[in-house]
Amino acid sequence: MALTVCSRSFINRSRFSSLVYSYFNKNIVQMLPPCQAASNSTKDADQSRMQRGLPKKLPIGGVDQVIVVASGKGGVGKSTTAVNLALSLKELDKTKLVGILDADVYGPSIPKMMNLKGPVHLNKQQLMMPLVNYDIKCMSMGFLIEDEKDPIVWRGLMVMSAIQRLLRQVSWGPLDYLVVDMPPGTGDVQLTMSQNIPIDGAVIVTTPQDVALLDARKGTEMFRKVEVPVLGVVQNMSAYECPKCGHTEHIFGKDGATNLAKEMNLPIIGDIPLHIKIRETSDSGAPIIVSHPNSSQAQAFKDLGRNVLQRLKVLKDQAKNK
């Protein structure tokens, strides 16, 4: 069974809202296409989840690996990190197909950072077609609202239904990597994502500031409780770099994320400076990976991409040996 979005070739906000209401009242699992035969270990895991009252995890059609970029707190540069991570994965291997899902329904940032704007069109299967820039497939609630200044005033159930549609009713495949820009916190969206789809790894973004570190710890513990592997910690805005003289100042403190990672037995997989170029390029819709690919700031994001790929391989090898 498939949910028809609308009879026209594009989607508007009011129509999308009404469809989300009706969609929520139906059994989501019954509407999904059958997945491939699972191994005995997968079946055992699914049976265990069902016994605990949890939904069965179903992969996103055509997507090989899912990487979520999360933080316990807003304002730590999570979306900037997610965008540049996706671009670095593409830059490191041009043959790979990469996408970004903006799961922050209330505050979507991907449209501006990726310089994209709706409308969203439908294919023959009535699936939403991602918008594409810099060879990255993108989907966001920001593409589905008529005016980017309009707030999305929805209750939690509406948001959960919207997330399900962005996962299941988008023509994502084929993709090697889907990077998910998560909203801040440890609430409904995080649980919906982690309990409904297989996630290959979570990247925790934080600044060295003590207040941010407290919430980063909570975010890490949440993923561990829902059995999502944590790839490591990204220390963002680690130090201010003066664009004129190159002087470095630790505005938000020094080594806070490093100490947190040691306490939680996690690696530091990224160390991103606080630099005006990163902010300016993100706001202009030309992320630093594409606009200044040879800069030291872009190199920091490429190092993050390499570390993420390495950690994914390590976790995959560990899973095979179990």
* Non-local CB neighbours of 102 within 8 Å, separated by 6+ positions: 79, 108, 109, 110, 111, 138, 139, 140, 141, 142, 181
The CA-to-CA distance between both ends of the chain, in Å, stands at 37
Question: If pLDDT is split at 50, 70 and 90, which confidence band does 3 have?
Answer: very low
Phi-psi domain of 53 (left: phi exceeds 0; alpha: psi -120 through 50; beta: other): left
pLDDT in tens, 126-138: 999 999 999 999 9
- What is d(CA 271, CA 268) in angstroms, rounded to the nearest whole number? 7
For residue 108, pLDDT beyond 60 = yes
pLDDT in tens, 59-82: 999 999 999 999 877 889 999 999
pLDDT of 243 reads: 80
> Which helix (H) or strand (E) is 68 found in, with range?
strand 63-70
Looking at this protein, which amino acid is placed at residue 150? D
For residue 202, pLDDT beyond 70 = yes
Question: If pLDDT is split at 50, 70 and 90, which confidence band does 253 have?
Answer: confident
> Which helix (H) or strand (E) is 189 found in, with range?
helix 188-196
- What is d(CA 92, CA 216) in angstroms, rounded to the nearest whole number? 28
For residue 110, pLDDT beyond 90 = yes
Tell whether pTM > 0.85.
no
pLDDT in tens, 216-241: 898 899 999 999 999 999 999 988 87
Higher pLDDT, 299 or 242: 299
Closest residue by Cα to residue 81 from 261, 243, 205, 217:
205
Could you tell me the maximum CA-CA distance found in the chain, to the nearest angstrom? 61
The sign of the dihedral angle between the CA atoms of 63, 179, 176, 223 is: negative
Question: If pLDDT is split at 50, 70 and 90, which confidence band does 47 have?
Answer: low
Question: If pLDDT is split at 50, 70 and 90, which confidence band does 304 have?
Answer: very high
pLDDT of 160 reads: 87
